[in-house]
Amino acid sequence: MNTVTEIIVDHREARSGVLEHLSNLPNIRLRWENLSTGDYIVDGSAIFERKTAADFADSIIDERLFSQAKRLTELSLRPAFIEEGTAADWKALALRCEAQPVALITLTLIFDLPVFRSETPKLTAQLLVYAGCQLARLRNEISRYHNGKPKRKRTRRLRLLTTLPGIGPGRAYRLLEHFGSIEACINAPIEVLETIPASAQRPLPLSAI
C-alpha cells in the first residue's frame, strides 16, 4: 500500500508555484494553515522554510534570516531551509560576494540547519515529497523493531543505522551500545554523536549478529 504524505502549506505560498506541482503528485494530501513559522510541514515531523534567491537576499539585507532560523530551531519539528533559484537568479543578486556563503555557514554550522538547493518550484515540490517518503519509511522501520525476537530486532537496528550517511557497522554497534535504541540515536544532538568513536571494541559483522 502506498503511503499518503500530508503536507501543510502556509497560505503565503499560494502563488509560489510549488502547490501546483504538489497537487499533481500521487499520494499527497494538502492542508492549508496560517503558519507563524516556516512554509511547509511534511509528515507532521519536518518543517521547511522556502526562500527564492531574491527573498534570501532580502532576508539577509533586512536581517530577518537569522531570526527566522532561531524560531525554526525552537520548534519540536525537524527544521530545514530550501533555497530556490537557478544559477542565473543567484548571480543576479545585489549582494556582496561573501554574503551568501557567510549566511549558509551561519545556518548550517551555527544554527545546525540543513539547507537544500532547488532550481524550480517543481523540484521543490519533489524535494518535499521525497522528504515525506523518507520520514515515513524511517518511522515504519523503527516501529518494526518493537516486534520480533530480541536478536532479530538488534540485527535490524544495526542494519538501519548503517543506511545513514557516515555510519558503518563499527559505529552503528557503538551508537546502539551507547544510546540503547534507534530513536535515541536519531534524536541525539550532533555534538553528542561526535563523541562516539567510529570503531567498536568488539565489532561484529551484521551477518553474525
Q: What is the tens place of the pLDDT at every residue in 124-158?
A: 999 999 998 888 877 766 655 555 454 556 676 77
Q: How far apart are alpha carbons 43 and 51 in whole angstroms?
A: 20
Could you report the per-residue pLDDT of 19-37, keeping only the tens digit for each? 999 998 888 999 999 999 9
C-alpha cell at 101: 556563503
- Just give the CATH number of 148-208: 1.10.150
* 101-110 contacts at long range (C-beta below 8 A, 24 or more positions apart): 103/56, 103/60, 103/65, 106/66, 106/69, 107/65, 107/66, 107/69, 107/81
Domain spans, the chain: 5-135, 148-208
pTM of whole model > 0.85? no
The pLDDT of residue 199: 53
C-alpha cell at 30: 494538502
Which residue would you say has higher pLDDT here, 95 or 203?
95
pLDDT confidence of 1, banded at 50, 70, 90? very low
Q: How far apart are alpha carbons 204 and 200 in whole angstroms?
A: 8
- Comparing 5-135 with 148-208, is the CATH topology the same? no
The pLDDT of residue 154: 66
Q: How far apart are alpha carbons 171 and 196 in whole angstroms?
A: 8
What average pLDDT is seen over the chain? 82
What is 5-135's CATH topology? Rossmann fold (3.40.50)
Q: How far apart are alpha carbons 41 and 51 in whole angstroms?
A: 15
In the block, which residue shows the cell 507563524? 36
